[in-house]
Amino acid sequence: DQQVKQNSPSLSVQEGRISILNCDYTNSMFDYFLWYKKYPAEGPTFLISISSIKDKNEDGRFTVFLNKSAKHLSLHIVPSQPGDSAVYFCAVKPGVIQGAQKLVFGQGTRLTINP
Amino acid sequence: DAGVIQSPRHEVTEMGQEVTLRCKPISGHNSLFWYRQTMMRGLELLIYFNNNVPIDDSGMPEDRFSAKMPNASFSTLKIQPSEPRDSAVYFCASRRSPNQPQHFGDGTRLSIL
């Protein structure tokens, strides 16, 4: 039973355009959401996060949107650059009440930025 | 700052052998996580420690897997005996506090023949 789903295994975007990566989750008790980026032969690298009390967080070219009613998270990258080509994972952290400090990861979306 | 350091980067061994993966977390981080990444199951948490104490090992697949954290700067994940289905990339991550993101090492690619 997947608690976090990234339904698009891959995405191809033209350089300079906007990349939109999506993530759906099942449990309304999740309270903290993150995006990680992963290059081949490296570990995931933290990119940006958002807590459940917000609906948007921006950091440079990266913006994360949270729609709690739809249980949907998205990452916008604009403008997209060739160096953004990587696998992107969304991750969620269950609330403290559930006694968990661990992250649950989606399956990842491979983003390719075409020159 | 040195990141999370894992060794070895690659390990190839025969079925039945004991395998030990090592991790040095970032200094000052008091939580450590072991993950396994496979094509079928993605990135899944095996076990995590807070202040060197195992908190949740519900992700450890079976008794062949064990993890220890004898001190704040070192952890091991051991598989004994190893099986071909254990082949995967194993990541270690550490975190300073619950409200901080986890920082990952570059992983150990394990192949069991």
Rounded CA gap, A61 and B12, in Å? 40
Nearest to B104 among A43, A49, A102 (CB): A43
**Tens-digit pLDDT profile for residues B11-26:** 999 999 999 999 999 9
β-pairing, A109-114 vs A10-14, is: parallel
Q: Which of A87, A101, A109 should we substitute to test contact with B (largest number of B Cβ atoms within 10 Å)?
A: A101
Q: Which two tokens stand for residue B3?
A: 């990141």
pLDDT band for position A44 (cuts 50, 70, 90)? very high
* Interchain contact B33–A (C-beta under 8 A): yes
Residue B101 and residue A102: Cβ atoms within 8 Å? no
Residue A43 and residue B91: Cβ atoms within 8 Å? yes
**Tens-digit pLDDT profile for residues A46-92:** 999 999 999 999 999 999 999 999 999 999 999 999 999 999 999 99
Q: Which residue has the tokens 């070895």?
A: B8
Residue B105 and residue A43: Cβ atoms within 8 Å? yes
Beta carbons within 8 Å of B40's beta carbon, 6+ residues apart: none
Q: How large is the average pLDDT for residues B64-78?
A: 97
pLDDT band for position B100 (cuts 50, 70, 90)? confident
Per DSSP, what are the bridge partners of residue B36?
A: B44, B90
Closest alpha carbon within chain A to B42 = A107
Closest alpha carbon within chain A to B4 = A43
* Interchain contact B30–A (C-beta under 8 A): no
Query: What's the mean pLDDT when you consider all of chain B?
Result: 94
Query: What's the mean pLDDT when you consider all of chain A?
Result: 92
pLDDT band for position B1 (cuts 50, 70, 90)? low
Q: How large is the average pLDDT for residues B18-38?
A: 96
Q: How far is B30 from chain A (nearest CA, A)?
A: 12
Q: How far is A81 from chain B (nearest CA, A)?
A: 23
pLDDT of residue B64: 96
CB B83 within 8 A of CB B112: yes
Rounded CA gap, A26 and A5, in Å? 9
